Amino acid sequence: MAARPKVAFLGTGGTISSLGWDSLDVLDYTATGQRLDAEAILARVPEARTIADIVAVPFRAVPSPAIGFAEWRALANLCAELAGAHPDLAGIVIGHGTATLEETAYALSLTLAVDCPVVMVGAQRPISALSSDAGLNLVAALRTAADPASRGRGVLVVLNDEIQAAREVTKTSVGRLQTFRTPDFGVLGQVDGPAVRYYRRAERRHGPGTPFDIRALPALPRVDVSYAYADADGTAVRAFVAAGAQGLVSAGLAPGMTPPGEADALAAAVAAGVIVVQSTRAGSGVVPATTRLRERGILSADNLTPQKARILLALALTVSRDPADVAEMFATY
């Protein structure tokens, strides 16, 4: 028999690691405070070890709202260490809560220095629940990470038998299993039993080889998101600037507009030296670089959601504060 591919599995917590009050608890399980580490998750899914020779890596077990830059930096360093320690490593799987999974996935896709596939996986139902999706999602993620066809595609997100690109995917439902979607473009591929099938590639650049190196970075520049709504008067924008924001993302009204008071506050922020990027709360579609935006010195987020535009803007500001350079990065990544 051929040797099984070697895949590292890191657990960061989240629903995929959670134990509820009983097998019917699919809503209140976070209240138990019980989360399994990587080795304990694998013990509950023995089928996983039939897919790959798994290196279980201790990390931490927290709900994903507690995950941010410090964890992204630690994961980037840990992935680099694993790739160096295991030259035969076929891929890496990272278990993660679904609340911020798309943000961690995009941040890592822009900053990882490893060339083996890295796959993010989560679950909508705790691992203790009746009909939990945790076990099969993990198996599908391991199959994807171990498949040579996954190499060179950036960080991937695998849930519900679907493979999606870190830049494009977003969580669209609180509780449904098909929550992760790529609204404009659809999935990259699917996992059907043992078969990993790809049908397209995401075209935007990703790591390794980006200018964004966070492995020794103490912190990211402060970038905040201002959410637009009818009658928004710019109070939030002014508060963010007063708090020291170096960049702002406007989650504007589609197709990338803001009420007059908010627009004036954003223009004042630009005049104060803050880089402002216009996204939209719509969840899909490109924000056009209109005359109105250009005259106000506001950049387009392209089709990035506000939460992902925030990540790219913060990383861009570690490289350049020139708006033209930042605009080029939004057109590239």
Which residues are catalytically annotated? 15
Q: How many CB atoms lie within 10 A of CB 321?
A: 14
**Tokens standing for residue 315:** 């990383």
**Tokens standing for residue 191:** 């996992």
Q: Do 141 and 119 contact (CB within 8 A), yes or no?
A: yes
Q: How many CB atoms lie within 10 A of CB 70?
A: 11
Q: Report the candidate in 240, 260, 252 with the shortest Cα–Cα distance to residue 277.
A: 252
**Tokens standing for residue 271:** 């005049």
For the four alpha carbons of 296, 297, 303 and 307, in that order, the dihedral sign comes to: negative
Distance CA 72, CA 112 (A): 10
Distance CA 140, CA 159 (A): 8
Secondary structure tally for the chain: helices H, strands E: 9, 14
Distance CA 55, CA 88 (A): 12
